[in-house]
């Protein structure tokens, strides 16, 4: 069996490894993995500046899908041949988050999906619904669920809503696809006109090149006819000021990333004057993942996959996401 392993903290310790196929213990199942997807969070884990306590060697990546091969004792939820996908938090079943949850995530505190054979507790898996490809299923656990919960952080999104999406990575593109399926209007930013054109092909109503328009927050406010209702804030505190300027009355900002920084000054009067709310998003619960899966199948939505790697290219796939050249998802095809 082959897998990608992180032998110690640091990208230089990522490598392809070989070994015996793991055996499932009580309450666990063994999965022959089909595909796995890379998120920026995986890069940060391997680089050594994100995540909780880890045991090395660690198999990275939270997102993956495959077929059950065998089950250990007391594991009765899945049978051989079932299609399954990993979940992000293995111990967070439903909203809201409560003390004691979110202690064990796939690909960080627990082994991940970048392997030919993976052993997972049943709580770390969900069935892949009929009508969903394995590649889409392999792309959902982190980016897809984050997009889903961020869009819903201020309440229902529908035909009277406008959302603002920052960048064209996995979370933002999933959020674009979901928002359009809900009937909402979508404004999206990028530094690449080519990526903005691809976003228009997926349904974006307004596109803003933030290099050409540094004050993109007021521009989004204007183009949305008085402010957006929800911002999917992937930049973090470094872009929060602009996002707040883009927001309309009673709007919500779902903060889920820190690409633009982890601290910044904020105009409290703007927050108060707009009766706005800011929500921290830590992906979502198992029930959020299940709800997203049903929604994607109902609306015929597939993951937007930019590039596919092979398992032996797994270390490069993880490193490459930091360059920010992708549109949507980076996928590792395993089987």
Closest to 163 measured CA to CA, from 127, 121, 194, 206: 206
268 pLDDT above the threshold of 80: no
Q: pLDDT of 148-184, one tens digit each?
A: 999 999 889 999 999 999 999 999 999 999 999 999 9
CB atoms within 10 A of CB 181: 16
What average pLDDT does the segment 59-64 reach?
Answer: 98
Q: How far, in Å, CA of 114 to CA of 314, rounded?
A: 7
261 pLDDT above the threshold of 60: no
235 pLDDT above the threshold of 90: no
Position 219 scores a pLDDT of 98
Reduced to 3 states (helix: H, G, I; strand: E, B; else coil), residue 270 is helix
What average pLDDT does the segment 226-244 reach?
Answer: 92
Position 206 scores a pLDDT of 98
Name the CATH architecture for the domain at 2-142+284-333: Alpha-Beta Complex (3.90)
154-280 CATH fold: Rossmann fold (3.40.50)
Position 262 scores a pLDDT of 60
Q: pLDDT of 92-149, one tens digit each?
A: 999 999 999 999 999 999 999 999 999 999 999 999 999 999 999 999 999 999 999 9
Domain range summary for the chain, segments of one domain joined by +: 2-142+284-333, 154-280
The mean predicted confidence, pLDDT, of the chain is: 94
Report long-range pairs for 179-188 (Cβ below 8 Å, ≥24 apart).
Answer: 179/151, 181/295, 181/299, 181/301, 182/151, 182/157, 182/158, 183/158, 183/159, 184/157, 184/158, 184/159, 184/229, 185/161, 185/224, 186/162, 187/162, 187/163, 187/220, 187/223, 187/224, 187/228, 187/246, 188/164
Phi, psi of 126 (to 5 degrees): -135, 150
Cβ atoms of 148 and 268 within 8 Å: the answer is: no
Q: 22-36, 108-122, 129-143, 258-272: lowest mean pLDDT where?
A: 258-272
């Amino acid at each position: 069996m082959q897998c990608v392993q992180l032998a110690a903290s640091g990208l230089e310790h990522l490598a392809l490894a070989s070994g015996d196929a793991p055996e499932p213990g009580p309450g666990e199942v063994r999965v022959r993995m089909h595909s796995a997807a890379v998120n920026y969070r995986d890069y940060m884990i391997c680089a050594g500046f994100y995540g909780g306590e880890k045991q090395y060697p660690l198999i990275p990546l939270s997102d993956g899908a495959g077929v059950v091969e065998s089950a250990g004792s007391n594991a009765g939820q899945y049978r051989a041949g079932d299609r399954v996908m990993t979940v992000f938090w293995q111990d967070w079943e439903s909203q809201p988050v409560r003390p004691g949850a979110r202690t064990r995530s796939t690909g960080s505190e627990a082994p991940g999906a970048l392997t030919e054979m993976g052993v997972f507790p049943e709580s770390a898996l969900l069935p892949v619904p009929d009508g969903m490809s394995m590649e889409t299923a392999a792309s959902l656990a982190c980016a897809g669920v984050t997009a889903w919960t961020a869009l819903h952080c201020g309440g229902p999104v529908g035909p009277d809503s406008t959302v603002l999406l920052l960048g064209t990575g996995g979370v933002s593109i999933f959020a674009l696809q979901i928002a359009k399926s809900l009937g909402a209007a979508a404004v999206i930013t990028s530094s690449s006109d080519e990526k903005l054109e691809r976003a228009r092909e997926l349904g974006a109503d307004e596109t803003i090149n933030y290099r050409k328009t540094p004050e993109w927050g007021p521009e989004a406010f204007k183009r949305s006819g008085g402010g957006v209702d929800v911002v999917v804030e992937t930049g973090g505190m470094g872009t929060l000021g602009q996002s707040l300027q883009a927001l309309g009355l009673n709007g919500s900002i779902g903060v889920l990333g820190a690409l633009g920084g982890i601290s910044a000054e904020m105009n409290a009067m703007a927050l108060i004057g707009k009766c706005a709310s800011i929500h921290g998003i830590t992906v979502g619960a198992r029930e959020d993942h299940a709800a997203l899966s049903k929604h994607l199948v109902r609306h015929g939505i597939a993951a937007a996959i930019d590039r596919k790697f092979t398992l032996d290219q797994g270390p490069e796939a993880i490193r490459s996401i930091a360059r920010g050249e992708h549109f949507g998802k980076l996928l590792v095809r395993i089987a």
